[in-house]
């Protein structure tokens, strides 16, 4: 069975959805959830499914301690699901084309430093975009610039609030993120 490690910084709804999805499959399992936020709700979500959690500091991420812990697990894939720190080059180099991220917009639009969560949805509403969506992409040394694996869009009517846009995006994330991970595990 293939092993997945998830990195998350916040509530962990995508992480929990991925954990639940792979509980029902024979192809993979979530071996651990890593977070840089000691008060993140993702910790409780992971523990509810008996998934190991690792809490780390930014210094531990940069200085290689997190890479050591990842290497001890030997994951097949690393999945960023609402992870807000820039992913370090030492981990990217150790796991080339084995790290993916989900972004709540159609890249290359609305990507880069500071473009996460409600910041993106407010910008999309403010710019009166006709559509938005999700992008699942490989992680490289630059924010949101890795090769795109999958995109799914949703039409906007023009009168949504940022919160309503966020809800539409969340539906796409919940449906497609685990399916795309499963396809990557199968290859």
| 103 counts as catalytic | yes
132 labelled ligand-binding: no
CA 108/CA 120 separation, integer angstroms: 12
CA 65/CA 83 separation, integer angstroms: 17
CA 43/CA 12 separation, integer angstroms: 8
122 labelled ligand-binding: no
147 labelled ligand-binding: no
**Which one is catalytic: 103, 121, 137, 170?**
103
Contact yes or no for 162/137 (Cβ under 8 A):
no
Please report where in the chains the tokens 């929990």 appear, as a residue.
16
127 labelled ligand-binding: no
Distances (CA, A) of 100 to 44, 122, 124: 23, 25, 23
Residues making up the binding site for (6R)-10-formyltetrahydrofolate: 58, 101
Catalytic residue list: 103
Residues making up the binding site: 12-14, 58, 101
């Amino acid at each position: 069975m293939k092993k997945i490690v998830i990195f998350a910084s916040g509530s962990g709804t995508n992480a929990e959805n991925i954990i639940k999805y792979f509980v029902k499959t024979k192809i993979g399992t979530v071996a651990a959830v890593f977070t840089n936020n000691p008060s993140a709700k993702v910790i409780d979500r992971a523990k509810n499914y008996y998934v190991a959690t690792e809490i780390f500091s930014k210094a531990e991420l940069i200085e290689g301690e997190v890479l050591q812990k990842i290497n001890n697990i030997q994951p097949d894939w690393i999945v960023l699901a609402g992870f807000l720190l820039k992913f370090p080059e030492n981990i990217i180099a150790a796991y080339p084309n084995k790290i993916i991220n989900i972004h709540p917009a159609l890249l290359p639009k609305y990507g880069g430093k500071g473009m996460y969560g409600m910041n993106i949805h407010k910008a999309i509403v403010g710019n009166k975009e006709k559509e938005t969506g999700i992008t699942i992409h490989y992680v490289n040394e630059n924010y949101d610039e890795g090769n795109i694996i999958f995109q799914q869009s949703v039409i906007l009517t023009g009168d949504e609030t940022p919160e309503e846009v966020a809800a539409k995006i969340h539906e796409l994330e919940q449906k497609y993120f685990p399916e795309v991970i499963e396809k990557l595990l199968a290859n």
